[in-house]
Chain A
Amino acid sequence: MTSAMLTSSALYLAQGALVTIGLSLGIIAVATVAGMLLALLRLYGWRPLGLLAAAYGLVARGVPLLVLLIGSYFSLPYLGLDMPLWLVVVLIGGLYFAAYAAEVFRAALAAVPRTQWDAGRALGMRRFQLFTIVILPQARRLSLPPFLNVALVAVKNTSLVSAIGGWELVAAGREIGERTMEILPAYLAVAAFYFVICFSISQIGRHVEKKMRYV
């Protein structure tokens, strides 16, 4: 391989990595918002809605993401919802990982001692104020490490997109492998890109966690 080929291959993989990062950010954003909503419903919501949220969690965590992606990508058009693939991936992936995020948030919220609620109430705080001022900041810190785990799995699972015809890091790697006949190096490079993305997320997480440390 010439150095020009190496450079262009690396650039091509970098483009794929950008798509992977974009999809990951979208999925994590949706998972965070929806996961928080599910956790709140289960902990504090009207009971039937809480049970519905629990049932959703069981179903989402009991079905492979690949099946959900294939199923929705190929059936949504029949429902008149013609969405680009990236949007399907962000929405379905986000809702799928929301089920995992919900468990993380629920455990963290429940882990804040009941006595903190007592302290807030005794100071005349109402439920919503108490939640946002006292409970949520403490739960945020508790949920960070396990949430990071979910985020890393989400990043790596964006590779499923290449299995339903989308283009991202793995697909880019496969094309380069086929073009250069250097299959192993191509996939090693792909793995390296994934590693760098995930390692960066871990490092950012560790930094944030350290800043939030107060106990």
Chain B
Amino acid sequence: MSDLIPPATPAPLVVIDRVGKSFGPVEVLKEVSLTVAAGDVLSLIGPSGSGKTTLLRCVNYLETYERGLITIAGESVGIEQLPDGRRRRKSDRQIAALRAQVGMVFQHYNLFPHLDVLENLTVAPCRVHGEALGPVRERALALLERVGLADKRHRYPSELSGGQQQRVAIARALTMQPRLLLLDEVTSALDPELVGEVLDVITSLAADGITMMIVTHEMAFAREVSTSVAFMAEGRLIENGTPEAIFEAPHHERLRSFMQRYRAGNRL
């Protein structure tokens, strides 16, 4: 982006620029480029093993990437591009500081089993980021109220259903007041009858303008909640656009056959 010409639209919050990653000889991400504006909800869809989750984990540097660059609000994620072209891993402190601004919700919830629900929410802001317990507690209780679990605040994760645990995990990520929320197949481990309660929470977050990147296999949900959808296959970004464009007028053959299979499986 040029310094001389003011951009017509505000700079995107997340810029993924030709990102590549390999596990040994296997290239799992190939030149993936994407942007997410503040307030956007981007859904990443595609077959298993297409690299969606890996890409999502690169955005908060839970995974390293070897090529290209990801930036969040102009700040590069995980690595520094030196003037001479070399790349250097940022310090642990810098990486942690960036992660504190990016919330993540996992497929298997990953709540801390030895802490009760409220402590799960307050532990990072209070014990790691030095915030005072009072305001954090208030924020946490408001978020628990919002996900409908205020009465469970002194329960332990093992005493909750999967859907409840996942709602706690969402509240935990939000207690950090992140500028971006990453959701990694958050309903894939849930019993079918519990999926709805989690999707409802996410839909309400989208309505509030929380910026999200969502890896999902729930096509109807992706279509309803997203402002844009990106389809990945074999580590490549195949096609991206509005939900209407992707679901109703897919261009790429790979995407069309993927959609057909979903329709055949009665999942759309």
Contacts and interface: CB of A to CB of B under 8 A. Distances in A.
A75 interface: no
Contacts, number: 70
A134 B127 contact: no
B193 interface: no
Nearest to B110: A119
Contacts of A129: 127-128
Interface in A111-143: 115-116, 118-127, 129, 133-134, 137-138, 141
Contacts of A137: 114
Interface string B97-115: 1111111101010111110
Given A118-B62, A214-B156, A123 B114 contact: no
B90 interface: no
Range, interface on chain B: 20 to 34
Contact of B99 (A116, A121, A127): A121
Interface residues of A, number: 21
B167 to A, nearest CB: 15
B96 interface: yes
B62 A121 contact: yes
A116 B110 contact: yes
Contact of A214 (B96, B106, B113): B113
B106 A138 contact: no
A214 B158 contact: yes
Given A115-B110, A138-B113, A214-B156, A123 B124 contact: yes
Contacts of B103: 122
B246 to A, nearest CB: 28
A141 B114 contact: yes
B128 A133 contact: yes
12 contacts: A118-B62, A119-B106, A121-B60, A121-B96, A122-B62, A123-B99, A123-B123, A123-B172, A129-B127, A129-B128, A137-B114, A214-B114
Interface of A: 115-116, 118-127, 129, 133-134, 137-138, 141, 212, 214-215
Interface of B: 60, 62, 92-93, 96-104, 106, 108, 110-114, 123-124, 127-129, 156, 158, 172-173, 176, 182
